[in-house]
Structure 1
Amino acid sequence: MSFRGLFAALSAAAFLFLVFFFAASLLVALAVAVPVFLLIGAIFGRRPRLVVVRMRPDPFEGRDQRFGNPHFGEAGRQPRPAGPVIDHEP
């Protein structure tokens, strides 16, 4: 093997070592940084506001029960699908 071939092989090996070393160091840095940033965000992040929900009186109370109460998902008259209306009742 000539010196030129030996030098090319050593140069390629050194280049690949540097590339893989850089990639591995990036992976280690991300593996450390992501949990640290999440922890910092959890400690110093904006606190969620407490939302107080009050029950309002039911506006449908006492209404004809055939229609149901849409606020509470009661069964009742449902909107019909689009298309021709076929009425079988007289």
Structure 2
Amino acid sequence: MVLQRIIKAEGLSKMNPKGLRKSCGTLLVHLRVHPRIVKTILRHSRIATTMDIYAEALDPDVVEAVGQLDRLLRQPARLQELGAASDLETAA
């Protein structure tokens, strides 16, 4: 599969194509891309399908949580700190 070759060539961990597709759709929704455009990119036959799947991504609490996650992922030192704390909890 072409996708798996690209993932391997780029040194990425194993990824599920369905998961990548869902992540793409969710990110497009959070970027406020019009649902008809998301529908076209994901090749859904009906806009209702797109909205049924991604409507929860428009929930204000979900939008805020994704924003918090985005801010965290932009702080490599904080991620390492959290990883170290997680390792300590696992060892205990």
TM-score by length of 2: 0.20
Q: Which has the higher contact order (CA 8 A, sep 6+)?
A: 2
- Considering only CA atoms, is the larger Rg found in Structure 1 or Structure 2? 1
The structure with the greater share of residues assigned to helix is: 2
* TM-score after normalising by structure 1: 0.20
